[in-house]
Amino acid sequence: MTTLTAPSAAAPEHGLDVPSSANASVQGGSSPRAEKIANTTVLALLFAAPALVCLHFAVANDLDIWWHLSTGQWILQHHAVPRVDLFSASMAGKPWQAYSWLFELIVTKLFLRFGLVGIATYTSAMVLAITVALYHMIRRLQADFSLAVLLTFVVGYSIGRLYMPRPWMFTILLFILELDILMHVRKSGRVRELFWLPVIFALWANVHIEYVDGLLVLGLAFVESILARWWSAAETRVRPSWMGGALLASFLATFANPYGWRIYSVVYDYSSRLATPGGALNKVSELQAIPFRNVSDFTILLLALISAAALAWHRKFVLFEVGLLLFAAVVSFRSQRDIWVMAVAAGIILASRITSSRKTAIRMPKFATPLAVTLAAIAVVAGFPVMKVNNSLLQAQVISTLPVKAVEAIQAKGYTGPVFDDYNWGGYLIWALHMPVSMDGRASFYGDKRIDRSIATWTAEPDWASDADLKLSGLVIGPTKASLIQLLRTDSHFQLVYEDNIAAVFVASK
């Protein structure tokens, strides 16, 4: 360990000094060339490891991916985006916007080309891209290579549970790119990179609804630029005209989607439902608060606490970073799905506030990062055959958790819907049966009342038989051990036609 020193020229002016272990290699006599090679190797491992771990635990039985695939298939067939519901039995024809249509198109193309391996390819590729973008952002704020690698690893580890075939992967990536630009421009005053923000938001508004988080952070940067003239806590070198122009251009860029300004009606509806205390959307596991049951949960909390401590170390209120941390706390501790906001915010704060004691940093050659990315990509591609990640393996995963055999029995017998199903299986049944269902993973579309009603029926509440969707159904498909399934066994209005250890199928009497 070395002594604490003042921040290096490449680091922010205000920081928390920490010793750097990287000095040891220089003082010990290792050559700069050897260290460059070693650092490039470390980078390649840093980039490849999360994607390879994700590939090892490849998820092909995600509950939501199936209705996304169905939507993407419809888009390919009709060369348009849906504007009304396509999948629900009781809500068919009601206004609905596929706000993640571009994501759905991408994963459907991958699925049609590679099968279930295409889904694993999407997830692994996005994890690799997120890791590279995260390192690039942190490295521009942190002069010490070792600290940059460590922070990248910890932040990436803390959000590992989110590495799934979902559109929020794009949100994580684009949020990192946005903050990378904002932090660099604010510190350097070089506004050229701001021109990339409208491009980012134009893409973002077509892949995931949480582009609004990015707009809020950009708005915070704009407010900071206004206050910078009078308040020393606003540490930015960008004039309000530039930041305001970037905000306006980015906001207008979000209209570059098939639904135009109407996409904001989805934003409003979704936000209002999440804000409802005790709403049914709060019963969706990924929208619930962090349970603090595993190491990654506590890693998020630790990152938040250390970030707050780093900001308080120099006893000066810093508007943008403090505002970002508060925003991250509200969003991330409210919903497990949004823990990435805190992780990325903490990564930025720690990278910019912790400085290294290393005085003679080894400059990495320009080709080091591209070379490391290339090597990591090769490793990920090689990981598929090495780990035997193929369609047979992934299909077995699907069969073990979803009602694949029940669907085959329904198709063999020619039974018809509408289908009464539970929330978890609706997406798969949409894809596999091509029949209208009573419920699927589009929680914001169905709303609190319908989700509450479905849960009450499947848990066999006293008024279960009065469920309008159940009365409308021609088929009932549910987990074999579900409470409703046990009641239907003795109900003369339904006949059991198939059962295995995963699912049971009933046909409604005419």
pLDDT digits (tens, 9 = 90+) for 307-360: 999 998 877 788 899 999 999 999 999 888 899 999 999 999 999 988 766 655
pLDDT digits (tens, 9 = 90+) for 51-75: 999 999 888 888 999 999 999 999 9
pLDDT given for residue 495 in this prediction: 94
What's the token pair of residue 9? 């020229």
Q: Is residue 364 part of a domain?
A: yes
Residues 313 and 208 in one domain: yes
pLDDT given for residue 246 in this prediction: 97
Count of domains for the chain: 2
The pLDDT > 70 percentage for the chain reads 89
Residues 140 and 235 in one domain: yes
pLDDT given for residue 21 in this prediction: 43
Residues 308 and 415 in one domain: no
Residues 258 and 325 in one domain: yes
Q: Is residue 91 part of a domain?
A: no
Q: Is residue 305 part of a domain?
A: yes
Residues 265 and 123 in one domain: yes
Cα–Cα distance, 269 to 3 (Å, whole number): 54
Residues 208 and 274 in one domain: yes
Largest alpha-carbon pair distance within the chain? Answer: 86
Q: Is the pLDDT of residue 281 over 60?
A: no
Residue with tokens 């029949």: 435
Residue 38 binned pLDDT confidence (cut-offs 50, 70, 90): confident
Asked whether the CA dihedral 460, 441, 128, 141 is positive or negative, the reply is negative
Q: Is residue 220 part of a domain?
A: yes
Query: Exposure string (b/e) for 211-234, b if CB count within 10 Å is 16 or more?
Result: bbbbbebbbbbbbbbeebeeeeeb
Residue 10 binned pLDDT confidence (cut-offs 50, 70, 90): very low
End position of a domain, from candidates 322, 347, 381: 381
Domain extent, residue 472, equals 402-508
pLDDT given for residue 16 in this prediction: 54
Q: Is residue 499 part of a domain?
A: yes
Residues 132 and 213 in one domain: yes
Cα–Cα distance, 345 to 508 (Å, whole number): 53
Task: Give the distance, in angstroms, between the CA of residue 205 and the centroid of all CA atoms in the same chain.
Answer: 14
Residues 352 and 410 in one domain: no
- DSSP states of 176-213: HHHHHHHHHHHHH--GGGGGHHHHHHHHHTTT-TTHHH
pLDDT given for residue 221 in this prediction: 95
Residue 231 binned pLDDT confidence (cut-offs 50, 70, 90): confident
Cα–Cα distance, 168 to 414 (Å, whole number): 37
The pLDDT > 90 percentage for the chain reads 71
Cα–Cα distance, 215 to 235 (Å, whole number): 20
What's the token pair of residue 389? 């990640």
Residues 347 and 212 in one domain: yes
Nearest residue to 318 via CA among 5, 11, 14: 14
pLDDT given for residue 277 in this prediction: 61
End position of a domain, from candidates 332, 352, 381: 381
Asked whether the CA dihedral 226, 231, 235, 239 is positive or negative, the reply is positive
Residues 409 and 376 in one domain: no
Q: Is residue 72 part of a domain?
A: no
Spell out the residues 6+ positions from residue 236 whose beta carbon is closer than 8 angstroms to its own: 186, 221, 224, 225, 228, 243, 320
Cα–Cα distance, 499 to 480 (Å, whole number): 7
End position of a domain, from candidates 349, 381, 413: 381
Q: Is residue 151 part of a domain?
A: yes
Give the residue-averaged pLDDT of 422-437: 94
Give the residue-averaged pLDDT of 151-177: 96
pLDDT given for residue 25 in this prediction: 42
Residues 324 and 442 in one domain: no
Q: Is residue 333 part of a domain?
A: yes
Q: Is the pLDDT of residue 24 over 80?
A: no
